[in-house]
Amino acid sequence: MAATDPGSGAAVGAPTNVLPEKLSIAYSPCPNDTFVFHALTHGLVPGAPAFDVTFADIDVTNYWVQEADAPDVLKISYPALPLIQDRYELLHCGGALGRGCGPLVLSQGAVSAEALAGGVIAVPSLLSTAFRLFELWAEQNVPNGMQIKVLPFHEIMPAVAAGEVTAGLVIHEARFTYQNFGLTCHTDLGQWWEAQTGLPIPLGAIVARKDLGEAALTELSGLIRASVDHAWADPKASHEYVMAHAQEMDPEVAQQHIGLYVNEFTRDLGPDGLAAVEALLAKR
């Protein structure tokens, strides 16, 4: 179940500047995250504390958030939320949801349901939204099950292209680059989800330690929203930071990535975003 938002707006008379002087935060080097958090972590948002930033793929943070040494703030996949909601609060800003931006199942040419059932499917994480959507889709379309192999995200398309796996589950910029590997989109799980539910796709969540306190979480949410606003108002300001961590991504692909994953849901989940989170977590 999605948590209530402590950061929907500070009440009149609510205390301000209650955050510690420094916080630890972990998010991915993907362009959407570096675009969103650039201002917050570079002293461009008035009143923000200093941030100790760790770059980590979401498969790492999905498990790290369960450990005692996890950072104060992390980007995780929504399916990991029920595992840590006793210690972490879901913030209603900074994350990744959207329409037309879901994960893809890629293959070499057309592949039948029987071939999928008898083959190996490479996935980036067992706790990812991508994998949860894949499970839900497979329950209807590949009822006999299949063998799953977890691979780092950047290894999945090459493995499919080399015939090492039958198909691969990919996310993010792979939407724009899979044709370069000679691959075919077998299924767009985002389109499938939207057709099933009418809701956006809940991909990545921002969570913060509950023991920071409600007032601090409210302040933090406001600062993250200010960072999003700054990124939109001056997109060139973050360009160097984004490209420095974009893992040799083509600048045009990086901009497509940002355009797809940074949207109104990034600033505030809103009713549709919350309904999407509830729907995904209810299907367990």
Beta 104-107 vs 167-170: how paired, if at all? antiparallel
In terms of C-beta density within 10 A (0-12 exposed, 13-18 middle, 19 or more buried), how is residue 61 classed?
A: buried
The whole-angstrom distance between residue 218's C-alpha and the CA centroid of its chain comes to: 21
75 near 205, Cβ under 8 Å? yes
- Which residues are 116's β-sheet partners? none
What is the spatial distance between Cα 280 and Cα 1, in angstroms, rounded to a whole number? 9
* Closest of 60, 15, 6, 61 to residue 224, by C-alpha: 6
Contacts 24+ apart (CB under 8 A), 176-179: 176/253, 176/256, 176/257, 177/253, 178/104, 178/106
The CA radius of gyration of the chain, in Å to the nearest whole number, is 19
Residues noted as catalytic? 172
Residues 193, 212: Cα–Cα separation, whole Å: 35
